[in-house]
Structure 1
Amino acid sequence: MYQNNKLTRAVRLAIAAGAATTAMAMPTSVAFAEEAAEESVERIQVTGSRIKRQELTAVTPIIEVDAQEFAISGNLNVEQKLAELPSTLPSFGPSSNNPGDGTATVNLRGLGTSRTLVMVNGRRWVPSRQDGVVDLNTIPASLIENVEIITGGASAVYGSDALGGVVNFNMKDDFEGVEFSTLYDVTTEGDAEKFNLDMTMGGNFADDRGNAVLYLGYSQREALFQGDRDFSNVALTESGDELVAGGSSGVPGTRIWGGPTLADGTVVGTFGPNGEGLPWVEPDSRFNYAPDNFLQLPQERYSASAFAHFYVTDEHRIYSEVSFIRNYVPQELAPTPAFTTVELNPNSVFFDQAVRDAWGLESGETVSAFVGRRMVENGSRQSLDTRDAFRILLGVDGYINDDWSYDVYYSRSMLDQSNLLNNDVAASRFRQAVLVTDDGTACQDPSGGCVPMNIFGAGNISQEAVDFVNVGAANVTSVIQEVFMANVAGTTPWTLPGAQEPIGMVFGFEKRQDESSFRPDEFLAGGDVLGFNAGEATIGNYSSDEFFTEISIPVLSGKAFAEDLSLWGAARFADYSNIGNVESFAAAINWAPAEWVSTRVGFQQAVRAPNVSELFLGASNGFPGATDPCASNGFQPGITDVALCEATGVAPGMVGNFEQANSQIEGSFGGNQDLSEETSDTLTLGVVVQPMDGLDFTIDYFSIEIEDAIASYGVNNTLNVCYNVVQDINDETCQNIQRRADGNVSLVQSLNANIGLIETSGIDFNITYNTEFDFGFFGNGSSLNVQFRSTYLDKFEVTPIAALPDTVNKCDGYFGNTCGVPRPEFQSNTRINWTTGDLTLSALVRYIGETEDDQLMVDEDLSASDLVVPELDSKIYLDLSASYIVSDALKVNFGVKNVLDEEPQALGDSQQQANTFPELYDVFGPRVFLSGTYTFN
């Protein structure tokens, strides 16, 4: 066995703040002969600083989830476990079909996935999208050693994107033997299966100076449709005082607006199978799109990872990490709803005689109409995502002398995504195919092989017509990130008079390059599609050079009322190629007046640089409803700036007197290369109490304010802010408005801008209790472990446009179309483990507090009695599981999730999808899982 003859120095250096990076795995990770020393090292962990500390004396509040929690929970995908924590807001996951993009993400404090930094072994992981967000599908649960969650701004230590906090996955990278693990998970309905099989093998080499680990994994998740559950098989809407079957106005028989009136007085709103005119009846005539949507997205994942390290000398080692992950996640939506304006032949045989008579037009005349046709004959829309993620990392670390260590590494991450869109409809071909001759046998414009299409009546479209209008798209996304990091860490010669440990410091340099491209199919880029959103290419890159430092200053120790008093500080100075110089700072005070109680106060100023998507997003045009303040219908005397209206193109004397030409105004939406960084201030106040052996609890207050949050004005707000608020022709809002010669607005550019303000605050209260008993099974005693985590959300306020301070969305305790996913004021998570011998029985109790529909927040004149579902009730979920060590080689886990069969509360118009918020509330019913691990030594 290779021994590290400088073990004592390594342990002392690590505890005293000598170990540099979170993922460094310094020589203290070598196998030790002395068990006590090994246990000392195991206590060292990530705590919001690259200077390592024990969890209860962390610089900032942290949460740790160990490998046992994943195993005993039966979670195949890590985002599901993270979504259960009170400090996170559920984001995209296995039920995110629409909205969704096939990724699984984490959202700390509900501040947004792009404001949560995800790391593996303390280093940046493969970005999955152009906004830099990591897809948690690329991190296999079976390889996780533990997960550390640092809440609050952490940019001074870890760099950009950490406004909400950091989620760090520590992976198994030092292993001897061969281990197989598998899991099977199925609902009590016998559907929505999940399966995975993993193999980990590793061993030492070169007289135990090195170790290599190879991991191979396969995971499969089966599809479940919304039609497979009673609560989601019908798209619900609100009518009167009840929830009723609703859906889309794009129907298989075609919805027509402004249709003719029949001889019997019926206004034609849709059509029967023979082209007969029928009235539109709300909501009975609507199309139920729910059954065609996934409730659980299918997934197939292949993973391969290799970790290795080799000690060149006692003092220095080289290490490497290589990972490849292929994820295939399809989405499926109801058939294309073709909403568009078309020219029709009112004398076509596609209409019955009564409708043709009602049109009352001569042969050869056409009529313009806006229609909504559900293209069921074309099949369900499919979005098929295949993501290939590859990452390679090479590094060297070691000791410079007895007091200083170093770590240097380079990593390159690449993601290639192919997105296939099937069964869409070409807008131009649709319009061409519906304008037919009187006898319906040919298109009036036969170019391009046009096939006449009868959209008037369900099932009337021929396969030849389907083939003519059907289009697919193949879109390609590439993301590349390169990171070079070098740092030194250690203890200085200086020790303050009242302290026992010297001052510790870290100095480092990081260089990062981010680039990506999205190249859409020609149909998508050209906007000639009806079922999927059009968009132009997004291509861009930026780089940063960053210097960072940390200092830990022990002030007093072992004194009266000062068992420990220490100061900590961090700073990072970055030079971005696109936004210039930015800085972030952090400071904290830890004071323990006695061994059983300590306090912590921290302040951090964090930054987030704009990502490629926000900077370079390809422009797309739209026509939202908007009001021109300079026109008669929008002018506000005494508020609207008349001179500014005239300066931007309205003729003198016409301000407030001319009529706006259209209720919709064209807007151009996209990225903005002139964006600057977001900034945040985070304040934390905490108390850690350990009143007795086995019991500790923490209370931490947090307050986070994000300024210059990146968002988009939109057309209406751009006009309002320009003419009624800032009233400055040089302001970006006014510069983005173009007018025609007649004074009407012709185009409003609505690019991303640093315009938002987000504020949140609350209290985390956590308890851990461990005790032992004399009784138990199999002639053994037993032990009890209880871990209680909770968050009280005091405030979550979003001001979308800081220039309009009256438009504050106060979302704490609300859900709906403004605030999105419910944000309960109180949530808790309690894990109870009872272990006797080789058996562990476990229960997880999750509580989600009640929330109100945000319409009650937006409209003060609205009362709860005006809404069908004014409130989502609180929910309690109970999971039960058991773990048994059959032998030294075999361990099995069995469990049932959602034992109480708690069903989601049905919603109408304020839902996210599937008549609920499926990533927050359980939508499957009870699930049963069985997993096992077998190890060969």
Structure 2
Amino acid sequence: MYQNNKLTRAVRLAIAAGAATTAMAMPASVAFAEEAAEEGVERIQVTGSRIKRQELTAVTPIIEVDAQEFAISGNLNVEQKLAELPSTLPSFGPSSNNPGDGTATVDLRGLGTSRTLVMVNGRRWIPARQDGVVDLNTIPASLIENVEIITGGASAVYGSDALGGVVNFNMKDDFEGVEFSTLYDITDEGDAEKFNLDMTMGGNFADDRGNAVVYLGYSKREALFQGDRDFSSVALTESGDELVPGGSSGVPGTRIFGGPTLADGTVLGTFGPNGEGLPWVEPSSRFNYAPDNFLQLPQERYSASAFAHFYVTDEHRIYTEVSYIRNEVPQELAPTPAFTTIEINPNSAFFSPEVQQAFLNSGELNDDGNFEAFIGRRMVENGSRQSIDTRDAFRILLGVDGYINDDWSYDVFYSRSMLDQTNLLNNDVSASRFIQAALTNDAGTECQDPSGGCVPINIFGAGNISQEAVDFVNVGASNVTNVTQEVFMANVAGTTPWTLPGAQEPIGLVFGYEKRQDESSFRPDEFLASGDVLGFNAGEATVGSYSSDEFFTEISIPVLSGKAFAEDLSLWGAARFADYSNIGNVESFAAAVNWAPTEWISTRIGYQQAVRAPNVSELFLGASNGFPGAVDPCSADGFQAGVTDVALCEATGVPAGLVGNFEQANSQIEGSFGGNTELQEESSDTFTVGVVVQPMDGLDFTIDYFSIEIEDAIASFGVNNTLNVCYNVAQDINDVTCQNITRRTDGNVSLVKSLNENIGLIETSGIDFNITYNTEFDFGLFGNGSSLNVQFRSTFLDKFEQTPIAALPDQINKCDGYFGNTCGAPRPEFQSNTRINWTTGDLTLSALVRYIGETEDDQISEGTATADELVVSELDSKIYLDLSAAYVVSDALKVNFGVKNILDEEPQLLGDSQQQANTFPEVYDVFGPRFFLSGTYTFN
């Protein structure tokens, strides 16, 4: 009798708790709970199998991905499966080397990872960075029961950060027995292996009043370098009408900018191995940095989790969740490019006589008789730069839930999440020591400033730096980040005594309170903090915290049911009132109407006003330097006749006569970025309207229109936008954008400052169209019948526009159907994926077809270039086919085998508008066909 009652209560409790966090499902949940209470365990099982998917019943568009999809697709890392969905924009993942930070993230609707809230079992998960973003590496795929994805603003229900939507991972937390699972994955070229091994064991105790589950996991991913694939082995650039080998102007022989004229009339551009003078030839003189970069980042991960619950009485239970994840992900870049100004002794023995004479005849020696030059030296003798991120994440949660009476339940929990990250930087170069060591005596045997044990460094010619000189300038750094988040939440959910005259179900309510505290600190190594670095971005400490007190409520009002043209008509609403310690009071609201005129068709209309509070990184980020791709409007490549202000270019440091004529030294321009404690919240308006049609058994389709507008979006002007606004829009030397630009003596931009501001406007809209079809056949293999399941998901992107500075509404970045340095990763106007499963007996054959539509270079939408002027004006559409098979060998053993990208679809090559590896490696497959084999063995 207790077992029967316990299961009844468990189901009721789980559903009632779900109603508090997934309000869209409340009406069905209440009804199901009442049926369960009346009819017992057998009825629970039958009713449970008939509950419709939330994709069909939710008033806000929702996508479900079950555990089978992860298993049959062979995805070791969670983010790879999510990145395949048309409603997401691929973000950081296994190929995110530069840019990248060792995390794997999800970006709903392409609105930014910080605007996507990631939860586990309906509760906030461990932040991996100071911006609060969750690293999906901490969520093992083998432990996932299913994933629910709600797109669009949802902060009224879930709190801050849910402007783009919510991704909720429901984990296995009630398990009996022992289960081992493993996966091995390798490319058809025998490299880039992936491996994982997981163990899950659990059981009941105390006469089945409690259950405990323990999970242990290990995974490893091997490195693959860009040099291991032909398409990425050479850094490409655009020249004329073709892609040609390019690279960096920081070269092993040293690039000298504005060098003297040699005896033969050529300008000194670089140096041969014996110090002889050589001209600079574009683009053949550039350094190919590609082979030293990872195409697949290595990874090693250890995971341990425990879930337990215990029924103190039939009505009340306590529960706990404990997780620990250690994740190590290195990044590797080409050797340090030392771009700096040095003094050169023209009489140094490092130079050939011809070069010595050129320096002496230049007429540009300073008072000390030295030549001052801005140089670019690739420190190949110092080895590749390494950035090794190790994250130790820990989370503990303790809660109690139960029933107050037959109609009302409660749930109270406290969680504490902690992350300790160590970032080791190897093979960097000290700027001060490099400058000191470069100025030597005439013989080149001693530094002119011998302090600190200075060792002369011969940078003039490839391979000329001695090991002693390397040891003198080489530095490393150890940077530490600590993130802590505490959450306390209490809510009650239930049904009221009131039922409207035309309805069959009572009004449901949820009331709750949540308190959250976020704090974090980043403390850089002294070398990094001082800025005395040449190979990695300098940075300052980032330390800060904030807290919030939030009250929330939801209401579900069944209006009509079982009536003509109103099989179901219900209203839903939610509100959240929050008081933040840093920005004060904010509110968010939501409302929806669900109308089903018949049993086979229903409509849903929803509106949500959501907010996102600025995070610790946005508020307190210490100034740090980065090198994004950007175009200087004053240079030959960026100048627009009749648009760019020539006088302003000269007033800000471009020598007279060079505006529109000088070549930009590098495609990347240094920027200084930082936080702003005066930031206010972002706000968004989300409107959705959809139709759910179920014309026959086994067939349903959904059509949902969405429109999201984010105001006061937090962003920095960015290097490219700052330059463009200053010279092409504001055209005022006193404008803040112009004040943030400094130039070198040769006219090139040396630094652009850009702090976070509430300056942006983001608008996106489109249509999601999904079809699910299930049917059974009399034919099959092994004397069995068979069944077919087809699931088609697609998104038509009608609009994605960014106005970086709302005060300049004419400066709109149109990104729907575009890619490039402004829009970033491709945003096709149409994307889809189709999963086809055919099951006969114990065998399931499966195919996944992914389609990514074509996109154009965003320079076309900006009007800065025409298609004819670009080497690659368009990225063609791509179709990827994955095939797999699953077989149930026995009740205990299940195996999966598959091939991803079986058609060997290769990425289309790009030049200057790429992200990395001559493409966008998180969007397009860069490995070729991959084979995977996985298995699960379970025993009691």
TM over 0.5, shorter chain? yes
Report if aligned partners of 2:867, 2:873 keep a CA contact under 8 Å in 1. yes
Question: What's 2:184 paired with?
Answer: 184
2:834–2:850: 8 Å Cα contact kept in structure 1? yes
Partner SS for 2:137: helix
Give distance in 2, aligned partners of 1:250 and 1:671.
30
TM-score (structure 1 length as normaliser) = 0.91
Residue 461 of structure 2 corresponds to residue 470 of structure 1 = no
- Alpha-carbon distance change, 846 to 658 in structure 1, aligned in 2, over 3 angstroms: closer
Q: Does 1:857 align with 2:861?
A: yes
Seen in structure 2, the aligned counterparts of structure 1 residues 871 and 625 have a Cα distance that, compared at 3 Å, is closer
1:671 is matched with 675
Q: Which amino acid aligns with 2:802?
A: V
- Alignment of structure 1 residues 402-551 onto 2, 5 Å: 402-551=406-555
Alignment of 1:900 onto 2:903: yes
Query: Once the two structures are superposed, what CA deviation does each residue of 1:506-547 show, in whole Å capped at 9, x if it has no partner?
Result: 000000000000000111111000000001000000000000
| TM-fit CA distance, 1:461 | 0.2
SS of corresponding position for 1:34: helix
1:660 offset after TM fit, Å? 2.8
* Counterparts of 1:695 and 1:509, CA distance in 2: 41
- Tell me if structure 1 keeps the 8 A contact 2:723–2:738: no
SS of 1:512 mapped into structure 2? strand
**Residue in structure 1 matched with residue 310 of structure 2 by the alignment:** 310
The answer for unaligned runs of 5 or more in structure 1 is 46-52, 641-655, 740-744
Could you tell which deviates more after superposition, 509-518 or 279-288?
279-288
- What is the CA distance between 1:260 and its match in structure 2? 2.1
1:933 equivalenced with 2:936 (yes/no): yes
* Secondary structure class of the residue paired with 1:377: helix
The question of 1:796 aligning with 2:803 is answered no
| Aligned-partner Cα distance in 1 for 2:520–2:55 | 37
Tell me if 1:280 matches 2:283: no
Q: Distance in 1 between matches of 2:197 and 2:752?
A: 53
Q: Which residue of structure 2 lines up, in the alignment, with residue 224 of structure 1?
A: 224
Alignment of 1:375-394 (within 5 A): 375-394=379-398
Structure 1 partner of 2:658: none
Structure 2 counterpart of 1:325, which letter? I
Aligned amino acid, residue 103 of structure 2: T
Structure 1 residue 264 corresponds to structure 2 residue 264:
yes
Alpha-carbon separation, structure 1, partners of 2:766 and 2:388? 40
Which ranges in structure 2 are unaligned for 5 or more consecutive residues?
656-668, 743-748
**Pair 1:845-2:852 in alignment:** no
Match of 1:38 in 2: 45
Corresponding residue for 1:576?
580
* Aligned partner letter, 1:614: E
- The TM-score with structure 2 as length reference comes to 0.91
Shift of 1:34: 3.4
Matches of 2:40 and 2:841 in 1, distance apart? 26
Q: Residues 734, 827 of structure 1: CA spacing in aligned structure 2 closer, same or farther, 3 A cutoff? A: closer
Deviations 1:679-707 (A, max 9, x none): 00000000000000000000000000000
**Aligned 8 A contact 1:605 1:682 in 2:** yes
Distance 2:750 2:240 in 1: 40
1:662 alignment partner in structure 2: 653
Counterparts in 2 of 1:11 and 1:178: CA distance versus 1, 3 Å? closer
The 1:345/1:699 distance shift into structure 2, 3 A limit, reads: same
* Counterpart for residue 157 of structure 2: 157
After superposition, residues 603-682 of structure 1 pair within 5 angstroms as: 603-620=607-624, 660=651, 662-663=653-654, 669-682=673-686
Moved more, 213-222 or 279-288: 279-288
Deviation at 1:269, TM superposition (A): 0.6
Partner-residue secondary structure (3-state), 2:471: helix
Q: Which residue of 2 aligns with 1:329?
A: 329
1:148 maps to 148
Sequence identity (%) = 85
Counterpart Cα distance in 2 of 1:483 and 1:460: 57
Change beyond 3 A, Cα 1:69–1:339: same
Kindly provide the CA deviation profile for residues 783-839 of structure 1, in whole angstroms up to 9, marking residues without a partner as x.
000000000000000000000111100000001111100000000000000000000
Q: How many angstroms does 1:262 deviate by?
A: 1.8
1:625, 1:663 within 8 Å by CA — same for their partners in 2? no
Instruction: Quote the offset at 1:59 in angstroms.
Output: 1.9
> How many residues get paired?
901
| Aligned residue identity for 2:268 | V
Q: What's the CA shift for 1:120?
A: 0.2
Give the distance between the partners of 1:39 and 1:727, measured in 2 at CA.
Answer: 71
Q: What residue number does 2:120 align with?
A: 120
1:859 Cα offset (Å): 1.6
Is contact 2:8–2:41 with CA below 8 Å preserved after alignment? Answer: no
Give yes or no for the alignment of 1:294 onto 2:288.
no
Quote the Cα distance in structure 2 between the aligned partners of 1:867 and 1:732.
Answer: 32
Contact kept? 2:537, 2:626, Cα under 8 Å: no
* Matched-pair contact (CA < 8 Å) for 2:180–2:200: yes
Q: How big is the shift at 1:33? A: 7.3
8 A Cα contact 1:772 1:782, kept in partner: yes
| Distance of 2:201 and 2:517 partners within structure 1 | 33
SS at match of 2:232: coil
Give matches, 1:661-810, under 5 Å.
662-663=653-654, 669-713=673-717, 750-810=754-814
Match of 1:924 among 914, 924, 927: 927
Kept in 2: contact 1:11–1:40 (CA 8 A): no
Q: Do the aligned partners of 1:687 and 1:699 also contact (CA within 8 Å) in 2?
A: yes
Instruction: Provide Cα deviations, 1:197-228, integer angstroms capped at 9, x if missing partner.
Output: 00000000000000000000000000000000
Distance 2:929 2:873 in 1: 27
Q: Could you say if the C-alpha distance between residues 497 and 750 of structure 1 is closer, same or farther in structure 2, counting changes exceeding 3 Å?
A: same
Task: Please tell me whether residue 880 in structure 1 is matched to residue 883 in structure 2.
Answer: yes
**Cα deviations across residues 484-517 of structure 1 (Å, max 9, x unaligned)?**
0000000000000000000000000000000000
CA offsets, 1:278-337, max 9 Å, x none? 111111111110000000000000000000000001100000000000000000000000
Secondary structure, in 3 states, of the residue corresponding to 1:822?
coil
For 1:662, give the aligned amino acid: G
Give how far 1:747 is off.
11
Rounded Cα–Cα distance in structure 2 between residues aligned with 1:17 and 1:453: 67
On the 8 A contact 1:500/1:556 being kept in 2, the answer is: yes
2: distance between equivalents of 1:247 and 1:747?
21
Distance 1:567 1:314 in 2: 33
Deviates more, 1:699-708 or 1:279-288: 279-288
For the Cα contact (< 8 Å) 1:602–1:685, is it kept in 2? yes
Give the letter for the 1:896 counterpart: V
The DSSP-based 3-state class of the residue aligned with 1:903 is: coil
Q: Secondary structure at the match of 1:207?
A: coil
Question: How far apart are residue 725 of structure 1 and its match?
Answer: 9.2
Whole-angstrom CA distance in 2 between matches of 1:776 and 1:136: 39
Counterpart of 2:89 in structure 1: which amino acid? L
Partner SS state of residue 594, structure 1: coil
User: In 2 relative to 1, CA 575–229 (structure 1 residues): closer, same or farther, beyond 3 Å?
Assistant: same
Question: Does structure 2 retain, via aligned residues, the 8 Å contact 1:92–1:104?
Answer: yes
Alignment partner of 1:92 is 2:111: no
1:669 positional shift: 3.8
Which residue number in structure 2 is paired with residue 48 of structure 1?
none
Indicate the SS of the match to 2:405.
Answer: coil
Q: 1:734 to 1:124 in 2, by over 3 A?
A: same
1-structure distance, mates of 2:21, 2:652: 62
**RMSD over equivalenced CA pairs, Å:** 3.2
Query: How far, CA to CA, are the matches of 1:854 and 1:533 in structure 2?
Result: 27
**Conservation of the 8 A alpha-carbon contact between 1:694 and 1:769:** yes
The answer as to whether partners of 1:251 and 1:373 remain within 8 angstroms in 2 is: yes
Mapped to 1, the partners of 2:198 and 2:78 lie a distance apart of 15
Where 2:617 maps in the other structure, the secondary structure is helix
Quick one: distance in 1 between partners of 2:726 and 2:767?
A: 39
1:20 counterpart SS class: helix
Structure 1 CA distance for aligned equivalents of residues 725 and 912 of structure 2: 30
CA distance in 2, matches of 1:613, 1:679: 18
